[in-house]
Amino acid sequence: MPEYLSTAPVKGTRDFLPAEMSVRTQVFGHLYEVLESYGFLRYDGPILEQAEVYERKSGQEIADQQLYTLTTRGGERLALRPEMTPSVARMIAGNAKSLSFPVRWYSHPNCHRYERPQRGRVREHWQINADIFGSDSANCEIEMFELIHDLMGALGASPDTFAVRVNDRNLLSSALTDVVGVTAEQLPQVFALVDRWEKTAADDLAASAAEIGLADKQFEKLTETLAAGPALLDELPAEVKENSNLVKVLSSSAASLVRFEPMIVRGLAYYTSTVFEVFDTSPQNRRALFGGGRYSDLASLFTKEQITGIGFGMGDVTLMDFLATHGLTPSPRSEVDVVVIPVDEQLADAAREVATSLRRAGLRTSTPLELRKLGKELTRADKAGAAAVVIVGQEDWAAGTVTVRGLATREQQQVALAEVPGVVSALLAPTA
């Protein structure tokens, strides 16, 4: 017996059969429409980048644990992109002289990370990225938060099903140094501690704080600080708050779109001020769905020009989990709208002619590739989800007509060839 290869996809990757691909196409189509309604332009880039790009800017977790790397025959170290932001920063820097800033760009890249596969995490994922480059204005933050609400709304999510939790790393730095008494040297380690705060047991957090060098009273104060919410702003110096775009957002009409939470940090090293995460509020799926933030110097890897940016990445895995949790997953579309069936092989050309007219009218139309008995073709059309079939018979065709049958009602009528697209379209129209 031959030894067959496994039909399973590589660990951490997924197959998408047509029904699931239909769902994904609908979901992402809605997101594209919203992004483009805001003036975002779509771009794309290579799946391979220099490994150094991620090692220098994406943070230790990605660089040391999650990066897929390879070395070319010429000795160049490359990596499969784990995220898109460094790539788009490279593209922006390389084309800065021809761009009219600020610019709004979006993409939908395929990304790879060597994760431990589990709910919400795989090794290959697709991610909607949206970024604004070239403006320091708080209006960028406001637009991002409005955009997120509109994206979620386009998928049927009501505002109570998710929360946009926001922070400013500069505000947090001030709180840690001025309120908790953290030293400048301890800040990076404390940031990392805060980033895993909600996922770690209190005893383990206390132990980690002690390893960093925080006294017991400092750990207690840190705990109070992270739980303070908006009240924390009252304890921070005025000059720190004056320079915070987030504070401006919280003083604007967009304040209702977000929730200030000091424990939001984001693990990626390139975020410099505003950071945010979108959380599912359902007890069955209480977790971060996606997030982003502002980065002031990411383009400095590629140019001496400082090009500030703000953006987010919305991964497909957690998004689909969210839709399933809230009963918002769309149904797969039918295979076709209508099937044109010739009663014998001699009418195959006639059937293709009718199918062409239906396609030109915007109807998804198929014809049998291997003709079977009419009853079997009708059954096949029904299973394909067709709303109607067009039967091409010899006598009807000679008279310039065909038979149109609605599969839901089983009613049929003789229709002149020129009227077929209109009659079939009426059968597909939703009833009141």
Annotated binding site: 83-85, 113, 127, 131, 266, 270-271
Query: What residues are paired with 110 via a beta bridge?
Result: 126
Cα separation, 51 vs 342, in Å, equals 58
Q: What is the largest CA-CA distance in the chain?
A: 94
* Cα–Cα distances in angstroms (integers) from residue 65 to residues 78, 145, 290, 313, 372, in the given order: 15, 31, 20, 20, 56
Position 31: which residue type? L
432 is written with which tokens? 């009141």
Q: How far is CA 215 from the centre of its chain?
A: 41
* Cα–Cα distances in angstroms (integers) from residue 35 to residues 149, 163, 209, 254, 312, in the given order: 12, 20, 42, 19, 12
Binding-site residues from annotation for L-histidine: 83-85, 113, 127, 131, 266, 270-271
